[in-house]
Structure 1
């Protein structure tokens, strides 16, 4: 027969051999209020941050409903003051969750019970389970993985504020700084994306202009090629015509030269055949 016992912030159980082993108090709480969470609809608002059991809004009491662990710690007056301060800070950071289901108002307040080592182990198990359930990516950008790790960080802040308020607030500052850095990177990414889209649109517009200009130049090239081809044809025809005219003129010139040569020869023969007297008379008459 197993028996359960809670002492301080640690829960334990006895097995059949009578040996006691540590058990997570948070795990026991989750088992005890599982039906209440399902009935109240709180299961749709899952978070790794520890909250108290859901209560009807009209019947929500004070912090006296906290676990015995917290009540036992309040016996120390010095620690009680720090817990009161931690409670005030936690109430400011983690506001109560209020929702309506089937006409009933429900509320869950932040849990201000300290966490034990076993509770941290249980928190690790929950994280691994939720990462697998949501099929979160192990690398790269994954929105669900980031949400779960943000909740984990907030739960660690809650635990730290209870045990050491200053350390918890310092972790809160780190979380806010990381959030601001992430927002800065996200803004830079969005601006880069907008710039890229703008440049892509400009490039597309310029590309259309360049394509139209290329088509115009191609038409001009085609027209100029046609002009060159026409000019070559005209040049060829002109060359042929010029050669024909030159050949004709050369033949005519040769014929005229030959004609004058024949006449010259005939005149020489006529002169040679003339009588000497005629040649003398002709010479004296000229003298």
Structure 2
């Protein structure tokens, strides 16, 4: 079988350093009028390094009192640093595999950033709604005394109208009773007059009959 031509070690090292600098940028800081640059190490990780990394992570989690569950910025920061070290070791061993792992890390960070933006937007929207509700609450509280006074005025007006209505009903009842009594008295007087007229008519009829008998 044909032999695969191996790349020069220096080229492989330079390619690995470029990938490391791309996904894990060097630290830079300014001190004593000098810019300092600290690139990521390209030394391969050993089994002892992985064990030490695990112990160091557990120690920092305890020292900084990171929460074991729920959202915890401290725990996320430490796990991010640990994940970056894992990516570095994978890139040193296999650049393609490390690149894929770094892309997955960046995708996760973008997803978290999107959720963070959505959360902040929701919080801002909720605060605006709360402020509007608080403002409306103050406006309504200012209207309460006015509305209470209106209610008292309406109650007083209702009481006056009720009393007036009762007075009118009582007066009308008295008037009806007086009219009824007057009508009954008139009817009784008319009945008496009718009786008297009947008696008079009967008497006249008797007298006329008697006169007729004497004449004939």
TM-score range, shorter chain: 0.7 to 0.9
Q: Residue 82 of structure 1 contacts residue 165 of structure 1 at CA under 8 Å; is this kept in 2?
A: no
Q: Which SS does the other structure have where 2:41 is aligned? A: coil
TM-score (normalised: structure 1): 0.57
Single out whichever of 264-273 and 90-99 deviates more from structure 2: 264-273
Aligned residue for 1:142? 72
Taking the aligned partners of 1:199 and 1:178, their CA distance within structure 2 comes to 31
Q: Residue 136 of structure 1 contacts residue 145 of structure 1 at CA under 8 Å; is this kept in 2?
A: yes
Q: Tell me which of 74, 79, 103 is aligned to 1:173.
A: 103
Taking the aligned partners of 2:80 and 2:175, their CA distance within structure 1 comes to 100
Report the count of equivalent residues. Answer: 206
Q: Does 1:254 align with 2:184?
A: yes
TM-score (normalised: structure 2): 0.73
Using the TM superposition, give the Cα deviation of residue 256 of structure 1 relative to its aligned residue in structure 2, in angstroms. 2.9
Q: Residue 157 of structure 1 contacts residue 168 of structure 1 at CA under 8 Å; is this kept in 2?
A: yes
RMSD: 3.9
Q: Are residues 234 and 280 of structure 1, via their aligned partners in 2, closer, same or farther at CA, if it must alter by over 3 Å?
A: farther
Q: Which runs of 5+ in 2 are unaligned?
A: 1-5
Q: Are residues 77 and 242 of structure 1, via their aligned partners in 2, closer, same or farther at CA, if it must alter by over 3 Å?
A: closer
Q: Are residues 157 and 280 of structure 1, via their aligned partners in 2, closer, same or farther at CA, if it must alter by over 3 Å?
A: same
Q: Residue 114 of structure 1 contacts residue 159 of structure 1 at CA under 8 Å; is this kept in 2?
A: yes
Taking the aligned partners of 2:190 and 2:159, their CA distance within structure 1 comes to 46
Q: Does 1:244 align with 2:174?
A: yes
Q: Tell me which of 86, 90, 96 is aligned to 1:156.
A: 86
Structure with the greater relative contact order (CA < 8 A, sep ≥ 6): 1 or 2?
A: 1
Aligned residue for 1:100? 31
Aligned residue for 2:130? 200
Q: Residue 45 of structure 2 contacts residue 89 of structure 2 at CA under 8 Å; is this kept in 1?
A: yes
Using the TM superposition, give the Cα deviation of residue 280 of structure 1 relative to its aligned residue in structure 2, in angstroms. 4.3
Using the TM superposition, give the Cα deviation of residue 210 of structure 1 relative to its aligned residue in structure 2, in angstroms. 6.7
Q: Which runs of 5+ in 1 are unaligned?
A: 1-75
